[in-house]
Amino acid sequence: MPDLIYILTIPLLPLVVFLLLGIAGRNSFNKTGGYIGTLSMLVSTVLSLQLAYGYFFHWGKVNGVYQHFIPYKLTWLDFSEGLSIDLGILLDPITVMMLVVVSFISLMVHVYSLAYMKGEERFGVYYAFLSLFTFSMLGLVLSSNIFQIYMFWELVGVSSFLLIGFYYQKSSAVAAAKKAFIVTRFADLGMLIGILIIAFQAKTLDFTLLIERLGTPGSEWIQQAVQAGFLGWPVISWGLLLVFVGGAGKSAMFPLHIWLPDAMEGPTPVSALIHAATMVVAGVFLVARLFPVYTFSAPGVLEFIAYVGVFSALFAAIIACTQTDIKRVLAYSTMSQIGFMMFALGVSGYGGEEGLGFTASQFHLFTHAIFKALLFLCAGVVIHHVHSNELDAMGGLRKDLPVTHICFLLACLAISGIPPFAGFFSKEEILLAAYEKNKIVFALALFTSALTAFYMFRLYFKIFWFKAFSHHGHHKEGSPVLLIPLCILAVGSISTGFIPFGNFVSGDGKPVHTSLQINFSIAPVLLGLVGILAAAFIYKRERSGGNSTSVIYMITKRKFYIDEVYLFITKKIIFNGIGKPAAWFDKNVVDGLVNFSGTITEKIARSIKKLQSGKVQQYTMLYLAGIIVITLAMLYFFNRI
Amino acid sequence: MMEPGLYHILFLSTALFFTGVYGFFSRRNLITILMSIELMLNSVCLNFIAFNKYVWPGKLDGVFMTLFIIAIAAAEAALAIAIIINLYRSHQTIDVSSGEEMKY
Amino acid sequence: MSGSTIIFYLLALITLGSAMLAVSSRQIFRSAIFLLFSLIGIAGLYFWLQYEFIAAVQIVVYAGGITVLIIFSIFLTAKSGESLPKQKPARLIFSALSVFCGAALVMLQIAGHSFPVFSGDAILPTVGNIGKQMLSTEQGGYALPFEVISMLLLAAMIGCIVIAMRSKPLLK
Amino acid sequence: MNLWLLMFIPLITGIAILAASGSKTIKWISFAGASVQLLTAVVLAWLFWGLKSSGITDDFVFQSDLQWFPAWNIGLHFGVDGISVAMILLTAVVVLAAVLLSWNIESMTKEFFFLLILLSAGAYGFFLSLDLFTLFFFLEVAVIPKYLLIGIWGSGNKTYSANKLALMLMGGSALILVGILTMYFQFPPGNRSFDLIYLSEHPLLPDVQMILFPLIFVGFGIFTAIFPFHTWVPDGHSSAPTAGSMFLAGISMKLGGYGCLRVATFLMPEAAQQYSTAIVVLAAIAILYGAFATMMQTDLKYINAYSSVSHCGFVLLGIGLMTKTAITGAVFQMVSHGLMTALFFGVIGMVYERTHTRRVAEMGGLMKSIPFISAIMFIAGLCSLGLPGLSGFPAEMTVFMGGWQRTETIYRAATIAGCLSIVVTAVYILRAIGSTVMGPLRNEEYLKFGDAAWNEKLAALILVGGIVLMGIAPMLLYKLVEPATENIITNIGGK
Amino acid sequence: MLDFFIYMKSELMVTLIIFVLLIIKLGKGLSNEKLLSLTQVLLLINVIIAALWNNEGSLFGDMFVTNKLIGIQKTILSLGVYLVSLSFPGWCRKSEHLTEFMVLLLSSLLGMYFLISSGNILMLFLAIELSTLPVAALANFDLDKKKSAEAAMKMILSSAFSTAMFLFGTSFLYGATGTIAFSALSVSTSMNGLQLMAFVFLFSSFAFKLSVVPFHLWTADVYEGSPIPVTAFLSVISKAAFSFILVTILYKVLLPLETAWYWLIITLSVTTMLIGNLFALRQANIRRFLAFSSIAQVGFILAGISGGGLTGQTSVTYFILVYLFSNLAAFGVAGVLNDQAGIDDIEGLKGLRQSNPFLAWMMALALFSLAGIPPTAGFFGKIFLLASGASKGPIWFILIAALNMVVSLYYYLKIIRVMFMEKPLLESAAIATDRQVKFSLIICAAGILFAGVFSWVYEFIYRQ
């Protein structure tokens, strides 16, 4: 094993760039900031690839099992005996895989943004934020400590906030940024409490130790943790459930998904990077990271995850069918795909063939990152071209944007699970894993998969077909800088499916055999094709979807009124029900008491002013009265002795 | 009736004292108030003499107290009358209610 | 009932009676005269107690000095025959009440207290004894109070002069 | 190191201010004094560190004991442990920033800076003292100048606020006074002492503790805005001039926390154990209630003031939980909140000087006109909502971590309440920042604003530096504080 | 014989000054200006004499006793009178009867010397009268003011009443114990009905002079009506002297009644603080305000007295010193304002900071000291009083006392607010402050600032 300390440079390079551009990006590096950022990203990517190569092919495997390595660890903050936040690097297959994904997609987005964001007033700042995000995300995937993950989790959240709110003068962007941050923060609350619970049960925050204690079958730690109960569930289950809530927040699982569509207010490359490929899969990554713990300490939670995942997948797919904003459709599709990854984890077992779900989930994560980034970047080109997000403003663009058209089509095929594109392989594995474990989940997933094909091609047709193009004929497709990333990603969408993923990534580090089962694949592929055809049929005419009056359509279009429910809870219950009374209470009761003590004193003072009547005889009468009273008191108290 | 003795004199002087106090409280004319004070001081003198005579004749403390009280009473009365006369000049009355300007 | 007893009660009656009249009479001049009677009554009691020197001082200072001063000031400040304004009944009642309480309290305490019986040689309050002690600086001497009271009288005199001999007319 | 140095520098600065003339001179003198003090504080920390790492195990070092009132056995007993050093550093930083941000004070400059320095002297003395009387003396020194600062240079309903602040704080110190006097007279004549170390070695009877603990704790608690005695905080902070708010929230509220820890808990461990449930409940109420009340505020200073109530609740929570981790967290939170809130108030002051309003609704899009100030405000806000990498995060997390070590339901519930507040915090901070710094530009006039001047920049950078340093390297502070909390914990017999 | 001169040096000196002044008056007389300077010089000498050669001893068969503490107390009184003579040159210059004024003032001072040195009830009585009657006359010295006449009337009548009460009580004490000497009384008093009653009557007279509630009612009216130097004298020097003698009476003479007077004192202490504070809250006149504030202060003095022993004695003496500086500074400022601008009401102080920063800061310092705000000496004074009270007192007592400090802070701050935070009514021009007043104020300020922090002042008193 080589000296791995150089891994530190992978996340630190973007950090340095962030600091440089953050401090001086506005003035000195506003123009050149993009190039600095891209260059550093390139270095990071190369290093990641090199690491991945080394890990997977050279030194990572010992005795046929991929090992955990902790090449670097620094105690960042001590809490107490055994509990400390360490900043460390944990290398295992999923880390390395994620490292590659993050740095690679980030590089693509960096390059793409060079052209896309050109001429922005805050170009340098944009790259600073992008670098901050990349740093945080890299830090997240490298984390060796559950609290470290939480830290980077928060940082990721804030960089997402900054990037969504990049157009800070747009009220909707600010609102979306706030919404994204607050919703995920709320989820993080769950994660935090979950961490507290787990830390208490395992007496450690370190992943390696944690997995050793709570992720090893039959360990006494598990027995202890399972014994203590709260509301009928073992405490550890609660803890893991809460941790999952954190993951669900970032990964936009129902019902914490509401921020994701709004987050599309950010610049499109940002959506590609954060809200499609990397950050939103953090939840999946987190569950995968703690997978042994889930499996052995709280299998019930895992089942729950499966249901949440598949429901989210279906739910999002349904909504995606009716949305008219290109980016929102993609956002819902992202949500849906993450649902796939989630339930894949949920139906997975640990080790051997049982662990297919795990591998499939990670595989899908990998392929999805590539084709979803591609979709977004294409969408960016389209939006750039028509200056609108609305599908109604588009149509027939295949002549104007030939490269984009092709790339988009490839990506759509990939996501729809049409062989031989990348999505097919990963999705197939997921479905297989679900089929073996849970038939209900499998059925829903199958349906969702068909729906995916339908709405993706709805999008595709609406953008590129069925409309005479007239108004935007004069634009060129864009600079090569814009197109190169598309092409690279398109190649990725085609080719990555062929990677024997199971050899590299699995729950226990041992290879999983993932052979393609042709007879199993027939159904999903056919269903996918049906979806595509349906889309082609329905949307070939302009201004289709005339049945927009039907109730179901309306409900779907309004995203099942989830936003309204949230609005009701926040505005009516939290603001008016708690905040206002609290403020009122403070102003009137607590403050009122303070003021009241003042007024009452003044009142008393005023009411006894008559004592000082100005009449000398009254004074002396009081004098005598005083003497009499005191004498009586003295006689009463002291004369009896 | 009993042979008069210490207690008789003490009761007498107490009565006298509180008669003075009553006068102090109830009169409106400043000079009559002053007169009431003289009554009170006199009763005290009587007390001292009675104690000196009946209880502590070994020393003349009571007598000296009385003497000095009488002297002080004179000085006090003189000063009080001067002040009252001055008040009369400024207020044109010696009713005690004239001096109620400062209050509360 | 011996003569001495009769004399005591007579004196007591004069003293207390005229004192009460002095504090209740509506005629200020009469009040002053009743005060004089009361003071003379007390002087009589001193005589009865065989404290002749004190009795003499009482008559000279009080009856001769203070009463005259008061009468003069009555002349200076008001017409002698004029009857005094009536006090508010509430004030009278409260005064009487508080005074009654006070007197009752004190008298009860006096009645409840047994004073010790003196055994030893009594010093007679003769002029000689008083004079000797008054000027003695030794233990039991009263030279210092004597000096102090001289300062007091001086101060009182100066005060009286300044206050009573106001030269300027009143501004307001 | 002679701790008297830390008292002399403000003293000399104060005298120099009184002797100087010309507002520029006065400002530079104050600046110089504050800078030298900061340097001294840093040197102190350095030497302290050296001493600790050389294996000295004394709880308090650099002690110097001077008889002050021998008749009462009162001494000017100075000494520091890690907590005091941290607090002194905090004070030095905040005071320097406050001086810098008062550069625009033109009326009664001399008095202003003198009072500011006097306040700081009070705080230094308070943190240095190991004698309860001296401690109390310095505590009170640091009250009335605040009244004047608010009343004279403040804004809004200032007399009301100043009165409320002074009276409530003095009320608190009255309780403390009663407590320490009674404590003093618990010992037979000849053995009476106000000395902290002596008292910690001769604990009071539990019955007495049960009476005195609430007095002293509530007394100090008022300084830290313990519910329901927190109402001076919003009014006082919002009416105060910038430097006043900075000092109030940054340091003054820490006096209370420090006192609760150092006097109440440290000297009366049995009672502290008994009352810890009550403390924790009150703290949890303060945290949540403060946070919810903040949500409804529309004035930037009120927002920060109420959030201070909430944040200082963490200090009390940490102290009430009485585990080593939680107490360390409380100290962390004191330092963190001190820096962060001072920064926030400083920024609000900068904004107010330009916009002449503090109402959130009347601002918007400031990022466009004053990017530097906006960025600083952003950082302050992020720190407030506990972003990793800034100081709020380690502080809050340490408290939570410590809290969870107490297994009783009520402590767990309180800890969860604390956790919950970080969401609410996010809501109000983002609301505030979203509609001031971000959002559409409300007023074209705003474009004419000049961005931060050198003094503002310097002040902001100093504070941000502190925040970031603590945020990325909390171990530094931890190493400083840990032996002290260890000592407290051993004394009170907690975990 | 030398003893006589040394023990009575202060009394003799004051008598000498009185006679010097009278002789000058009998001669050609001097201009007020010169007379004032002369008096000031003589009083300064008096202060120095009072401060030096203090020793323990007694004269005239224990009628006159002195010791080091009494020496210090006399020094404090002398210093107070010296400061009073410095503080009100405006009033003094205008006065037609300055010699008489000074003579009466000094007579009263003489009375106070005898008061705190008295060893016998007769001396006590004479000293009380000697210290009170001249002040009653002085109260009338604003001859052309109605209020002054009213004040003098109220003072002489109520003090005559209190004298009668004092004597009435004393007569029974004499009757029950057969002695008027303190040394004999301290062993022959005992707890029985008559003596307790006699004690209450006797005590009421001290309470009256100290304006302890409910015997305080004359205070505000007299303070308001009297000439301002007299008010200052009354509120500071007279209170000081009577506090000192009350300590002696309670600690030494009436020791057998301690359990009784202890509870009386703390009850009255609490009542006095409360009532004084409540009345002070709503006063508009500066002098009335200071009157009630001084009543509240007396409540604290009583708290200190309740502690007993050396600490009680020391803390009371020390507090009186501090109180003297603080209150005289306040009265000094009030005097200047009254004299130069005719300001009598708190409203008149509006914006004083802008028009007269020196006066405003002096006033503020004085008020802070009165309120017990560190680092002024008032803080230490109050705390030591409370500590002395706490040495015996129940916790509720100390709690009420401490909370009363907060209430009192409210009204002191009210004045601060008026001076510092309100706009001036008119563009009131700067008021010329006499150099003497400045000097006096600076002495007071120095006292306020340094008598506390420099602990040797307290220690010095403690070690006597």
Average pLDDT score over residue span E14-22: 93
By C-alpha distance, which of D455, D450, D432 is closest to D385? D432
**In this model, does residue C166 exceed pLDDT 90?**
no
pLDDT tens for each residue of D404-425: 888 888 998 999 999 998 888 9
pLDDT of residue D386: 87
DSSP A469: -
DSSP A394: -
Q: How much is the CA Rg of chain A, to the nearest whole Å?
A: 31
pLDDT of residue C172: 41
The pLDDT confidence band at residue C81, using thresholds 50, 70 and 90, is low
**In this model, does residue D114 exceed pLDDT 90?**
yes
Q: CA E440 to CA D88: how far, in whole Å?
A: 39
Higher confidence at residue A563 or residue C129? Answer: C129
CA dihedral C80, C86, C87, C92 (to 10 degrees): 100
Chains that touch E (3 or more CB pairs under 8 A): A, B, C, D
Three-class SS of residue E66?
strand
Contacts of D70 in chain E (CB under 8 A): 455, 459
Backbone angles phi, psi at A278, to 5 degrees: -115, -65
With both helix axes pointing from N to C terminus, report the angle between D474-492 and D23-53 in degrees, rounded to the nearest 10.
70
DSSP code per residue over E256-290: GGHHHHHHHHHHHHHHHHHHHHHHHHT--BHHHHH
pLDDT tens for each residue of D134-171: 999 999 998 889 999 998 898 888 889 999 999 999 99
By C-alpha distance, which of D95, D86, D100 is closest to D142? D95
Q: What percentage of residues in chain A have a pLDDT greater than 70?
A: 95
Dihedral class, residue A560 (left if φ above 0, else alpha if ψ from -120 to 50, else beta)? left
Q: CA A85 to CA A95: how far, in whole Å?
A: 19
The pLDDT confidence band at residue D469, using thresholds 50, 70 and 90, is very high
Q: Cβ(E348)–Cβ(E330) under 8 Å?
A: no
Between positions 409 and 448 of E, the ones with CB within 8 A of D are: 409-410, 413, 416-417, 420-421
Q: CA A448 to CA A341: how far, in whole Å?
A: 13
Q: Poorest-confidence range of A324-338, A499-513, E262-276? A: A499-513
Higher confidence at residue C52 or residue A466? Answer: C52
pLDDT tens for each residue of D170-189: 999 999 999 999 999 999 98
**E122 close to D (CB below 8 A):** no
Contacts of E62 in chain C (CB under 8 A): 139
**In this model, does residue A383 exceed pLDDT 70?**
yes
Inter-chain residue contact E417 with D162, CB threshold 8 Å? yes
The pLDDT confidence band at residue A542, using thresholds 50, 70 and 90, is low
Q: CB burial class (10 A; 0-12, 13-18, 19+) of residue A81? A: exposed
pLDDT of residue E428: 61
Q: What percentage of residues in chain E have a pLDDT greater than 70?
A: 99
The pLDDT confidence band at residue A550, using thresholds 50, 70 and 90, is confident
Between positions 125 and 164 of C, the ones with CB within 8 A of B are: 125, 129-130, 133-134, 140, 142, 145, 149, 152-153, 156-157, 159-160, 163-164
Pairing of strands D74-80, E57-59: unpaired
pLDDT tens for each residue of E321-354: 999 999 999 999 999 988 888 888 888 888 888 8
Q: CA D194 to CA A572: how far, in whole Å?
A: 54
Q: How far apart are the first and last CA of chain A?
A: 96
Of E191, E204, E407, the CB nearest to A641: E191
pLDDT tens for each residue of A104-136: 999 989 888 888 888 888 888 888 888 999 999
Query: How many residues would you count in chain D?
Result: 495
**In this model, does residue C1 exceed pLDDT 60?**
yes
By C-alpha distance, which of A142, A155, A147, A8 is closest to A82? A147
Assigned token pair, A107: 């590089």
pLDDT of residue A25: 67
Determine which helix (DSSP H) or strand (DSSP E) holds A191, and give its type and residue range. Answer: helix A171-202
Q: CA E243 to CA A119: how far, in whole Å?
A: 85
Q: Cβ(A410)–Cβ(A493) under 8 Å?
A: yes
Q: What Å distances lie between residue E163 and A434, C107, E221, CA to CA?
A: 107, 20, 19
Q: Give the torsion sign (CA, B84, B90, B91, B92).
A: positive
Q: How far apart are the first and last CA of chain E?
A: 25
**In this model, does residue A554 exceed pLDDT 80?**
no
pLDDT tens for each residue of D233-268: 888 988 899 999 999 888 999 999 999 999 999 899
Q: Which residues fall within 8 angstroms of residue A2, CB to CB, at 6 or more apart? A: A54, A59
Amino acid present at A91 = L
Q: CA E382 to CA E452: how far, in whole Å?
A: 11
Please tell me chain B's helix, strand, coil percentages from 3-state DSSP, rounded to the nearest 5: 80, 0, 20
DSSP code per residue over A42-59: HHHHHHHHHHHHHIIIII
Inter-chain residue contact B37 with E225, CB threshold 8 Å? no
Average pLDDT score over residue span A497-517: 77
Which residues pair with residue E285 across a beta bridge? E345
Inter-chain residue contact E174 with B56, CB threshold 8 Å? yes
For chains D and E, CB pairs below 8 A equal 88
Average pLDDT score over residue span C15-20: 94
By C-alpha distance, which of D276, D227, D274, D230 is closest to D249? D230
DSSP code per residue over E159-182: HHHHHHHHHHHHHHHHHHHS--BH
By C-alpha distance, which of E201, E216, E206, E210 is closest to E249? E206
Inter-chain residue contact E125 with B68, CB threshold 8 Å? yes
The tokens 């519910």 sit on which residue?
D227
Contacts of D71 in chain E (CB under 8 A): 311, 314, 458-459, 462
CA dihedral D172, D166, D258, D221 (to 10 degrees): 40
Q: Cβ(D344)–Cβ(D303) under 8 Å?
A: no
Q: CA D492 to CA D266: how far, in whole Å?
A: 6
Backbone angles phi, psi at E118, to 5 degrees: -70, 145
pLDDT of residue E219: 93
Assigned token pair, D382: 């992020």
**In this model, does residue B43 exceed pLDDT 90?**
yes
Which three-class secondary structure string do you get for D419-488?
Answer: HHHHHHHHHHHHHHHHHHCCCCCCCHHHHHCCCCCHHHHHHHHHHHHHHHHHHHCHHHHHHHHHHHHHHH
By C-alpha distance, which of E232, A159, A73, E375 is closest to D139? E375
Dihedral class, residue B36 (left if φ above 0, else alpha if ψ from -120 to 50, else beta)? alpha
Three-class SS of residue A77?
strand
pLDDT tens for each residue of D282-338: 999 999 988 988 888 888 889 999 999 999 999 999 999 888 899 999 999 999 999
**In this model, does residue C46 exceed pLDDT 90?**
yes
Between positions 584 and 613 of A, the ones with CB within 8 A of B are: 609-610, 612-613
Q: What Å distances lie between residue A380 and A387, A390, A492, CA to CA?
A: 10, 12, 19
Q: CA D101 to CA D353: how far, in whole Å?
A: 11
Q: What percentage of residues in chain C have a pLDDT greater than 70?
A: 93
Assigned token pair, C139: 């233990």
Pairing of strands A61-62, A65-66: antiparallel
The pLDDT confidence band at residue C171, using thresholds 50, 70 and 90, is very low
Q: How far apart are the first and last CA of chain C?
A: 64
Write down the mean pLDDT value for chain E.
Answer: 91
Q: CB burial class (10 A; 0-12, 13-18, 19+) of residue A77? A: buried
Inter-chain residue contact A625 with C95, CB threshold 8 Å? no
Q: What percentage of residues in chain A have a pLDDT greater than 90?
A: 8
Determine which helix (DSSP H) or strand (DSSP E) holds E407, and give its type and residue range. Answer: helix E395-421
Q: Cβ(D123)–Cβ(D251) under 8 Å?
A: yes
Write down the mean pLDDT value for chain D.
Answer: 89
Of E158, E192, E200, the CB nearest to A627: E200
Assigned token pair, D426: 């996010």
**B14 close to C (CB below 8 A):** yes
C115-119 LR contacts (CB < 8 Å, sep 24+): C115/B6, C115/B51, C115/B54, C115/B55, C115/E175, C115/E176, C116/B55, C116/E178, C118/B54, C118/B55, C118/B56, C118/B57, C118/B58
pLDDT of residue E426: 64
**B103 close to C (CB below 8 A):** no
Pairing of strands D61-69, D74-80: antiparallel
Q: Cβ(D468)–Cβ(D375) under 8 Å?
A: no
The pLDDT confidence band at residue C167, using thresholds 50, 70 and 90, is low
